[in-house]
Structure 1
Amino acid sequence: MTRSVYVTGIGRGDGRQVVELGVMELLTRRVDRVGVFRPLVHDGPDRLHELLRSRYRLTQSTESAFGMSYTEAAALQAGRGEDELVSHLVERFHEAAAGYDAMLVLGTDYADTQLPAELTLNARLANEFGASVLPVVSGKGQSADSVASEVSNAHHAFTSLGCDVVAMIANRVRGTEREETARRLAGQLPEPVYVLPEEPALSAPTVAQVRDKLGAEMLLGEPAALARDVRDFVFGGAHLPVFLPALTEGCMVITPGDRADLVVGALASHAAGSPAIAGVVLTLGERPGAETMALAARLAPGTPVLGVSGGSFPTAAELLALEGRLTAATPRKAEVALGLFERHVDTGQLTDRLAVARGERVTPMMFEHQLVDRARAHRRHIVLPEGAEERVLRAAEVLLRRNICDLTLLGEHSAVRKRAAELGIDLALLDEDELPSDAQASARIVDPQTSPLRDRFAETYAKLRSHKGVTVELAHDIVADVSYFGTLMVHEGLADGMVSGAAHSTAATVRPAFEVIRTSPDASIVSSVFFMCLADRVLVYGDCAVNPDPDAQQLADIAVQSATTAARFGVEPRIAMLSYSTGTSGSGADVDKVREATELLRERRPDLLVEGPIQYDAAVEPSVAATKLPESQVAGRATVLIFPDLNTGNNTYKAVQRSAGAVAVGPVLQGLRKPVNDLSRGAMVSDIINTVAITAIQAQRSGDRAG
């Protein structure tokens, strides 16, 4: 039977999209097939549904996700009564829910719906759908007493109508009132109550929204900068010395287009990083001269400069009521929303109360969710040597918002801050000597060139490499390299792990690890695996990145390491030692190497299920296995696939990734004393996030947390 949860409110302005997104996140962690249903919809695109489709890769048709329009519903209820309306929507819901393990139902929005008794209608629909109810109450602008009363009244309203309430949520509560509100509500209701504070980054419109609202022309700037949040509006009219102190972080400057001094001053301030502005709107249809605009483009490349024909006052009037929206075009806001939800909702408790049984299949999305959950459960500190790289900064923002790990970004302070400002990324950076808090993940910048740690690291590195003739003077230059500096942070316990490679070669990342971290006592070599996330399962491929032509002993070691890594990340290891022949059907040096490695593996780890030599198709396809190795416990069911050499492994993982649409997470290095992982130089932001999460999980083995 499909498990359904109905998220609803009691009025407008409750910001329940945050809750709907958060619940969808919880559902997709548990089961593969999750559907969405909105009983009543306004004309035009449904922005939240578009976001859910995009973010969670929903294959459900748009038509099946909606019951009917509000206009149709009002007419049907007026002409034939509520029973007929409900009957129609129940039929549409069951059609939509067929074939899904769980359904997220999005309640009505109380916005010009022309429906009487809307709360009662939501309650009745939830009951008829057989859905549990998660009511959301707006706390915007209210005192703790008022919010507590609203929550209690809403709880009574839904329970008195027969609803199965799983929890109550108070959203958009003033930050100063959040703790007091939570205290007043603690233990007052039979179900848990979660209190979410107002989050300015969610209510802030983006530059793109400002442009669309004003119908403005983009005169300067990069399209990516349209995603910046506009946290304030500053209206320019005063002289420059008075104007500059009025600028605030993330503000949008609105000024007449003939005030070239204010335009240049605002962009120069942004370039200096004090403060970083969101952009500039030029009013009155005026534009500074060509020379001024050229200077503006050089001062703050990428920063949006918009032009409108209206005056500053009517422009201001249009913008002051503008609020941010969660849409498919604002993925950063989605991360902010999920971070807010996960910080203030006991997601484990709520998942249990939703009572959605975990599915047997592990999809790529479920695997990625599991990585994030496990990393966040015991937060670790990861160093990112490529601190000014755009993808790294964007990944860092998500990692911090989702409370996945603490970070150190390496690089020149001004360069990292300026690049973050240009991208509109707020990392709330700590000073180098500040310790991260236990409550929320944080980041700091460390410049290896000027850090007090440089001398200490030089002495450490010189001792480690003295047998190679490395002196302290030479080491002082070497450790200024970000890869060496980051590796030494891990070695010295100042970070729990390192992730690099977005802008550096594999050799630049791995060589310092070999020299400083070195192999663990139970490993003869360092190797790697990729987690290959297929549509219905996760396979582990090793070694596809490090060892060109391992011998039999090394191949057996790679298999042991890969099985250990697989088990650590929830994949039951059934090992296939791959070759171009299966069983005893072939001969030759290459096959003999795999056969010998298989025997060595069985001797070393008789507890592991292993088969080899075996061809890839016999390892993963039950029908082929039934013909070639019918008695094997591994054939057709292999989860850990060990390739005989780097050429075979690297080409196979790339072929499967591109041809089968698999998500390849890795390479994950194994066999080091402490975790260091390499990225592909083509890595996307999501790849960086996954690799950092994996590194944090690897670091959890020690139990100690770096300072």
Structure 2
Amino acid sequence: MSKNLYITATEEKSGKSAIALGVMQLLLRDLQHVAIFRPIINDNQTGSRDHDINLIMEYFNLDISYEDTYAYTLKEARELINSGKHSLLLENILNKYSQLEEKYDFVLCEGTDFQGKDQNFEFDINAEIAANLSCPVLLVANGRGKSADDIIASTQLVIDALEDKGVDTVAAIINRLTATEEEKNEILSSIKCKTRCSQELLVYGIDENESLGNPSMNDVRKWLNGSVLYGHGRLDTLVDDYVIAAMRIGNFLEYIEDGSLIITPGDRSDIILSSLASRLSSSFPDISGILLTGGLQPSASVHRLIEGWTGVPTPILSVSTNTYRTTQLLSELYGRIDPDDQRKTASALGTFEASVKTDELRHRLITSKSSKVTPKMFEYKLVQKAKANKQTIVLPEGTSERVLRAADILTRRGVADIVLLGKADEVAGKISQLGLEMNDVRILDPESAPQFDDYCETYFKLREHKGIRMSDARDRMLDPTYFASMMVQKGDADGMVSGSITTTAQTIRPAFEFIKTKPGASIVSSVFLMCLKDKVLVFGDCAVNPNPNAEQLAEIALNSAETAKIFGVEPRVALMSYSTGQSGKGADVEKVKEAVKIAKERNPELKLEGPIQYDAAIDPSVAKTKLPDSEVAGQATVFIFPDLNTGNNTYKAVQRSAEQSVAIGPVLQGLNKPVNDLSRGCTVPDIVNTVAITAIQAAAEKGQI
């Protein structure tokens, strides 16, 4: 079941708030607890609540704190991105969203209003947020005043662009249409047929409703903080356009139309009286009202004349701003729906229900769930999963700057309890030099540690058969990597991460010596978690075994499938080769065939295919030709390579060539307890991710996951 939806528009004034109102009512028919969330709201200088959030909260009486319903203003978001803190922006949005996701059955998200100066920026940030929240999108397009060709082309372009950014669009609503019924049907069917969505697109059209799209005189009053001089009972009159009256009366009257709001300085008695007269004349269009600017008011005699008029036919407002500034402010006003405006809310909901197949849309929203996972979302989920079952992780490279910066992040975010190895004064000095604060980090010097003698004795007994003497054991335990590995072996730490300044051999040799492999396992192997633009794949073995035999390859496949499960990837295992199915021959192909046979015998329920080429494993269109009946071909998630040369080169090629890709690992598998190796070129985020992975592995070993 889906737990979220992201409503975004193609441009400003699309009527998105009315659609959000209709969708929320639709959701509340089936779900009891639904939250509203706007990752980025408009810049607000007055301190009042965001309009759309307030509308949804008040109308549906949602039990949610306003502060929980948004993350940033548009200005704040832009400043973070411009200052190089893009990741922080996304992380905090994910944090806020996740807090709501834990409490509510469904989170209805709404994008920005496209009222900023850069609409491309707003499109990109909406798409990126939706992708990182794994939110399917409902797109609202503005059809007002556009030809059928323009609507089709622009909507199709946006939907395809969202698809390219890893976003699933479940439905599109063309709002504010002014087309004939025949044109409308042509528009909707064309959009449905031409877009490149991964699933059938639902497309609906809603006709222009002036009562929703046009502001009322009351909207004008609120927007300009004006006062009502006359016509208190007529403030629901709709405004269609603005006429600035600066001409003589004879010329001015030629410009008024139905629904015109007359804007004029408050001392232009001639304009005021002629406007009122036009409203009483059947020969002239009906204006919506008069707006007096500059804080000026008609003379006492004109006031007296108006007051003597039986039932002033049109509302008259007064504002303090001059005519130019007033017109500027009004250019930003559009029809808004207030939660206490029963006529508008009823009209919005009625129009939505009459135009949208609500049962069809409700079924799609509640049953559809985006299967796409971005690198940022995967990294965030790693951290959250590690935090949920907090483990103790030892980092033997206690004076490495990258390790210390990572330890600072890990403790601040509560990912794991961290133990740093090294001489206390050296580690503390480096922490101070870097300006870090790590009061919750434990610093341990192996030589002076209380468990040093016990570790030496344990190592001696475990390796005595190899000719190790006690003096050798003491030397080994002075090595931070050996000491850290023994902490894991003895249960004083749940896992170890090393390798930022030491080789892979130095990192994993102690684990091979005394942590050993799991019962029934004959080999230690590795996988990389390949976070692509919209999915996570598992690649193995790309770091440890140069040329595994068929039995070892089968074991790597089975272990990799288990690792995939731990990290939320449904295993569909493909064993790579230069041929697919029965198309090729040779010793390398036969090895893969034998490995597949062994793996299937050990785990008949596992979805597994091989030998198979990479294109047939990942591309559904190729799979239909080469292996049309396979459960794995075209949708593989775990890729097992026949040797280290192939695996290492492939993961690096994918990492460097795939857009927005992140390779996390290597993740070691097959050991009794989790130990993981870092690349010596690793970044601070790499270390954070690897520690989170190690903590998750440790929790899984204990049966906590």
- With the length of structure 1 as denominator, give the TM-score of the two structures: 0.55
Q: Indicate if the aligned counterparts of 1:338 and 1:402 stay in contact, CA closer than 8 A.
A: no
Task: Tell me if 1:168 matches 2:95.
Answer: no
Rounded to whole Å, the distance in 2 between the matches of 1:551 and 1:576 is 17
Q: Indicate if the aligned counterparts of 2:566 and 2:700 stay in contact, CA closer than 8 A.
A: no
Residue correspondence of structure 1 range 647-686 to structure 2 within 5 A: 647-661=645-659, 662-686=661-685
C-alpha displacement of 1:93: 11
Q: Indicate if the aligned counterparts of 1:166 and 1:353 stay in contact, CA closer than 8 A.
A: no
Give the letter for the 2:537 counterpart. L
Show structure 2 runs of 5+ residues with no match: 21-35, 71-78, 110-134, 136-368
Q: Which residue of 1 aligns with 2:417?
A: 406
C-alpha displacement of 1:337: 9.7
Cα pair distance change 1:597/1:392, threshold 3 Å: same
Cα pair distance change 1:618/1:124, threshold 3 Å: closer
The structure with the largest alpha-carbon Rg is 2
CA deviation string 1:538-569 (max 9, x = no partner): 11111000000000000000000001111121
Cα pair distance change 1:483/1:169, threshold 3 Å: farther
Q: Which residue of 2 aligns with 1:126?
A: 53
Give the letter for the 1:698 counterpart. Q
Rounded to whole Å, the distance in 2 between the matches of 1:339 and 1:464 is 50
Residue correspondence of structure 1 range 21-420 to structure 2 within 5 A: 103-106=38-41, 108-109=43-44, 113=45, 115=46, 118-119=47-48, 122=49, 124-127=51-54, 132=57, 159=58, 162=59, 164-168=61-65, 329=83, 348-350=101-103, 352=105, 354=107, 359-420=370-431
CA deviation string 1:583-606 (max 9, x = no partner): 111111111111111111111111
CA deviation string 1:233-255 (max 9, x = no partner): xxxxxxxxxxxxxxxxxxxxxxx
* Matched position secondary structure for 2:447: coil
> What is the aligned counterpart of 1:490 among 477, 488, 491?
488
Q: Is 354-363 or 400-409 further displaced after alignment?
A: 354-363
* Matched position secondary structure for 2:446: coil
Cα pair distance change 1:427/1:665, threshold 3 Å: same
User: What is the root-mean-square deviation in Å for CA atoms of aligned residues?
Assistant: 3.6
C-alpha displacement of 1:105: 3.3
CA deviation string 1:365-416 (max 9, x = no partner): 2211211111111111101111111111111111111111101011111121
* Matched position secondary structure for 1:383: strand
Give the letter for the 2:598 counterpart. L
Cα pair distance change 1:670/1:618, threshold 3 Å: same
Give the letter for the 1:106 counterpart. I
Q: Which residue of 1 aligns with 2:696?
A: 697
Task: Tell me if 1:423 matches 2:434.
Answer: yes
Cα pair distance change 1:351/1:392, threshold 3 Å: farther
C-alpha displacement of 1:364: 1.3
Q: Which residue of 1 aligns with 2:528?
A: 530
Give the letter for the 1:467 counterpart. H
C-alpha displacement of 1:629: 1.2
Q: Indicate if the aligned counterparts of 2:499 and 2:507 stay in contact, CA closer than 8 A.
A: yes
C-alpha displacement of 1:703: 3.3
* Matched position secondary structure for 1:576: strand
* Matched position secondary structure for 1:575: strand
Q: Indicate if the aligned counterparts of 1:34 and 1:104 stay in contact, CA closer than 8 A.
A: no
Cα pair distance change 1:566/1:123, threshold 3 Å: closer
Q: Indicate if the aligned counterparts of 1:598 and 1:610 stay in contact, CA closer than 8 A.
A: yes
CA deviation string 1:8-29 (max 9, x = no partner): xxxxxxxxxxxxxxxxxxx9xx
C-alpha displacement of 1:347: 5.5
Cα pair distance change 1:403/1:602, threshold 3 Å: same
Cα pair distance change 1:572/1:339, threshold 3 Å: closer
Q: Indicate if the aligned counterparts of 1:123 and 1:163 stay in contact, CA closer than 8 A.
A: no
Task: Tell me if 1:557 matches 2:568.
Answer: no
Give the letter for the 1:625 counterpart. A
Give the letter for the 2:510 counterpart. P
Give the letter for the 1:377 counterpart. A
Rounded to whole Å, the distance in 2 between the matches of 1:484 and 1:652 is 32
Q: Which residue of 2 aligns with 1:574?
A: 572
Rounded to whole Å, the distance in 2 between the matches of 1:125 and 1:468 is 72
Give the letter for the 1:665 counterpart. I
Task: Tell me if 1:476 matches 2:474.
Answer: yes
Rounded to whole Å, the distance in 1 between the matches of 2:593 and 2:94 is 53
Cα pair distance change 1:336/1:478, threshold 3 Å: farther
Rounded to whole Å, the distance in 1 between the matches of 2:619 and 2:94 is 43
Cα pair distance change 1:689/1:586, threshold 3 Å: same
Cα pair distance change 1:458/1:600, threshold 3 Å: same
CA deviation string 1:204-227 (max 9, x = no partner): xxxxxxxxxxxxxxxxxxxxxxxx
* Matched position secondary structure for 2:398: coil
Q: Is 325-334 or 605-614 further displaced after alignment?
A: 325-334
> What is the aligned counterpart of 1:595 among 587, 593, 596?
593
Rounded to whole Å, the distance in 2 between the matches of 1:377 and 1:452 is 30
CA deviation string 1:573-621 (max 9, x = no partner): 1111111111111111111111111111111111111111111111111
CA deviation string 1:133-162 (max 9, x = no partner): xxxxxxxxxxxxxxxxxxxxxxxxxx4xx4
Give the share of equivalent positions with the same residue, in percent.
Answer: 50
CA deviation string 1:461-515 (max 9, x = no partner): 1111111111222111111111101100000100000111111110011101111
Give the letter for the 1:167 counterpart. I
Rounded to whole Å, the distance in 1 between the matches of 2:663 and 2:94 is 29
* Matched position secondary structure for 2:392: strand
Give the letter for the 2:623 counterpart. A
Q: Indicate if the aligned counterparts of 2:38 and 2:53 stay in contact, CA closer than 8 A.
A: no
Give the letter for the 2:519 counterpart. P
C-alpha displacement of 1:107: 5.2
Rounded to whole Å, the distance in 2 between the matches of 1:477 and 1:574 is 46
Give the letter for the 1:378 counterpart. N
> What is the aligned counterpart of 2:465 among 467, 491, 500?
467
Cα pair distance change 1:600/1:404, threshold 3 Å: same
User: How many equivalent residue pairs?
Assistant: 422
Residue correspondence of structure 1 range 445-456 to structure 2 within 5 A: 445-456=443-454
C-alpha displacement of 1:698: 0.5
Give the letter for the 1:683 counterpart. C
